[in-house]
Chain A
Amino acid sequence: EPEVTQTPSHQVTQMGQEVILRCVPISNHLYFYWYRQILGQKVEFLVSFYNNEISEKSEIFDDQFSVERPDGSNFTLKIRSTKLEDSAMYFCASSRTGGRLGELFFGEGSRLTVL
């Protein structure tokens, strides 16, 4: 069964460093998302991406965050200058149809620890 894959599974970084989290969505999916889950809290929407551009972003997704689809398969989340409060599990998700039709398929997550 096709899956969303994410790398790395865990990254430890120093405050102020740049981090890139990578995702490979399911191949025939068109809508891509990043969600964040701080330990013990709920899953929070960060950004959605469709047709090579951001379609929606939350207030969490400030200028320090960016997303890119550099080729036909990868979808990346970059945090330019990490802060302690960026420590969380980051989930990539994809959907075939998006909008009100598509269920989301989540990756296993990338745990980011900022020291």
Chain B
Amino acid sequence: GENVEQHPSTLSVQEGDSAVIKCTYSDSASNYFPWYKQELGKRPQLIIDIRSNVGEKKDQRIAVTLNKTAKHFSLHITETQPEDSAVYFCAALGDDYKLSFGAGTTVTVRA
């Protein structure tokens, strides 16, 4: 099955700076990679996703890049704001059609 590794586990940034979270996956057949934001006690919410026929996708301050050869993908948040503080999970849809999650990154944006 798919194995997703996520780094770092915690990330503290100054408001206005950028945050980058990196994930690797093992199943070369995976071709859908969503990112979820989870606030304390709440459900994971999809913030952006990318499919394997695309190398980069951007939505306002959030961007995701995918390198299929290296089997890694990254989330970039620019101009961070306090409301960006949350746990972020990457995920990959493996060949078995199960969504496998990374371990999560706790992002803290310091005002």
> What residues make up the interface of A, taking CB atoms closer than 8 Å to B?
33, 41-45, 48, 55-56, 58, 91, 98-101, 103-109
Contacts and interface: CB of A to CB of B under 8 A. Distances in A.
Main SS of chain A's interface residues? Answer: loop
Interface string B30-44: 011010100000111
Contact of A107 (B43, B99, B104): B43
B93 interface: yes
A41 B9 CA distance: 11
Interface of B: 31-32, 34, 36, 42-46, 49, 89, 91, 93, 96-104
A44 B89 CA distance: 12
Contacts of A33: 99
B102 A42 contact: yes
Contacts, number: 48
A45 B43 contact: no
B43 A42 contact: no
A108 B43 contact: yes
Contact of A42 (B31, B49, B89): B89
A109 B43 CA distance: 6
A45 B85 CA distance: 25
B97 A100 contact: yes
Contacts of A58: 98
Given A56-B96, A104-B34, 18 more contacts: A33-B99, A43-B36, A43-B89, A44-B101, A45-B99, A55-B97, A56-B98, A58-B98, A100-B31, A100-B32, A103-B34, A103-B46, A104-B46, A106-B43, A107-B43, A108-B42, A108-B43, A109-B42
